[in-house]
Amino acid sequence: MDMTALAGTESPSRAAAVQTIVTPGGIEAWLVEDYAVPLVALEFAFKGGASQDPAGKPGAATLLAGLLDEGAGSFDADAFHRALDEDAIEMSFSADRDILTGRMQTLSRNSARAFDLLRLAVCEARLDPEPFERVVNQMAASLKREANDPDYVAGRTFRALSYPEHPYGQPVRGELASLPTLGRADLVEMRAAMFARDTLKIAVVGAIDAATLARHLDDVFGPLRDKAELAPVSASGFAGEGTRKVVPIDVPQSTIRFGRQGIGRKDRDFIPATVVNHILGGGIFSARLFREVREKRGLAYSVYSQLVTFDNAAMLSGGTSTKNERAAESMSVIESEIASLATIGPTEEELDKAKKYLIGSYALRFDTSTKIAGHLVHLQTDGFDVAYLDERNKLIAAVTMEDAKRAAGRLFGDGKLLVAVAGRPEGM
């Protein structure tokens, strides 16, 4: 599909390629018309997600997402999947911390059928006993397989310690003990509360015009209630800085997760922090952690850091895997690089390279219709308007050394980290 307008190879404005449409029923969507290939890609999101799981029952949103295409309307699960397959329609749903997302892709000639099946999944999913039990069993089997996987154990431990007694610290995919307690009534109640037009964000890319799309969107989402009834999620700071937690697993390598308080996506220092994080561990080959941990010392194959933002929290997080006997050394190197950036800041060369990479690589988010739709929904759920498509690179280009040092000081602070390790790390 020709995505040059949004990829930025021919058009100076990505925002100009996006139409903001409002249907007769009052549903808003972002549309990128593109007829180079006869495909239509749609992504949408409802606010809520796993943060709305019932108390003591994590995994409800994930289970609900897993059942939306397992029978709807007059179709049982097998019939619904056959209907999708017959017209080569792709449809999937997933839950994250703050959103429940749906995706659909279809040939334009089958778009009417695709939108009708999407309507059934969104508005009339059956949540029948057989697929309910099957999906719960699949989730449980996955958790059992991962029970002794160091990546999973380290990540789960890190999250629980980061946000204790908070929805963000709960496992999105649930727990073995909680899955059997979930019932159909939990999902019906969650769907009724979460699936509403006021928090709905939609992006569509492909061979469809605004008027046709508007009719389909009113058909799919028009029957939903006007306003969601979400349980409030309190703002949360990052907990456990300066704490180390080791979960013993008899494996030759230790998996490490580390992190501390981050910077929110609407904070004035978020863009400078994005640049600074790229210098620390967000870049592939240019990052300090990659150079110091992998190239110079051969401690690990991969090491990374990232900025993670939720609606009501933010963190800097990262990770690596290394031999048990070198785990303490790996963490020492990581902490040293964080301390250096916090107190000294990056070099002019590092700052220049990071900005150029972040600006140049942005186009990679717009090279397919599904990527574009996903990114446009992501921007909407994060609270940005269409203009951000053009502003983002300008904001990165404008980051000065003063900005970078200020953001590094805030992001890395005193350098204290929460560290969760799965394995048998020596010296930790």
Q: What is the pLDDT of residues 132-149, one digit of tens each?
A: 999 999 999 999 999 999
Q: How far apart are CA 83 and CA 327, in angstroms?
A: 51
Do 244-423 and 4-221 fall under one CATH topology?
yes
Whose structure tokens read 């600006």?
A: 359
Give the pLDDT score at 315.
Answer: 98
Name the token pair of 110.
């089958």
Q: What is the mean pLDDT of residues 325-332?
A: 97
Query: Rounded CA gap, 104 and 118, in Å?
Result: 8
pLDDT at 285 over 50: yes
Q: Which CATH architecture has domain 4-221?
A: 2-Layer Sandwich (3.30)
In the chain, the amino acid numbered 173 is: R
**Is the pLDDT confidence value at 304 over 60?**
yes
Q: Two tokens at 57?
A: 């029952």
- Spatial neighbors of 417 by CB under 8 A, at least 6 apart, are 241, 242, 258, 259, 260, 335, 338
Count other C-beta atoms under 10 Å from residue 289's C-beta: 24
CA angle 277, 279, 283 (to 5 degrees): 90
pLDDT band at residue 153 under the 50/70/90 scheme: very high
Q: How many CB atoms lie within 10 A of CB 309?
A: 18
Q: Tell me: pLDDT of 367 over 50.
A: yes
* Residue listed under structure tokens 């230790």: 254
**Per-residue pLDDT tens digits for 160-172:** 999 999 999 999 9
- The answer to whether 350 and 279 are in contact (CB under 8 A) is yes
- pLDDT score of 251: 95
Quick one: 244-423 is in which CATH superfamily? Answer: Metalloenzyme, LuxS/M16 peptidase-like (3.30.830.10)
Distance from C-alpha of 84 to C-alpha of 243, rounded to nearest angstrom: 49
Average pLDDT, the chain: 96
Q: Which pLDDT value is given to residue 1?
A: 44
Short-list 229, 258, 408, CA closest to 320: 258
Domains of the chain: which residue ranges? 4-221, 244-423
Separation in Å, CA 86 to CA 92, 106, 208, 237: 16, 11, 21, 49
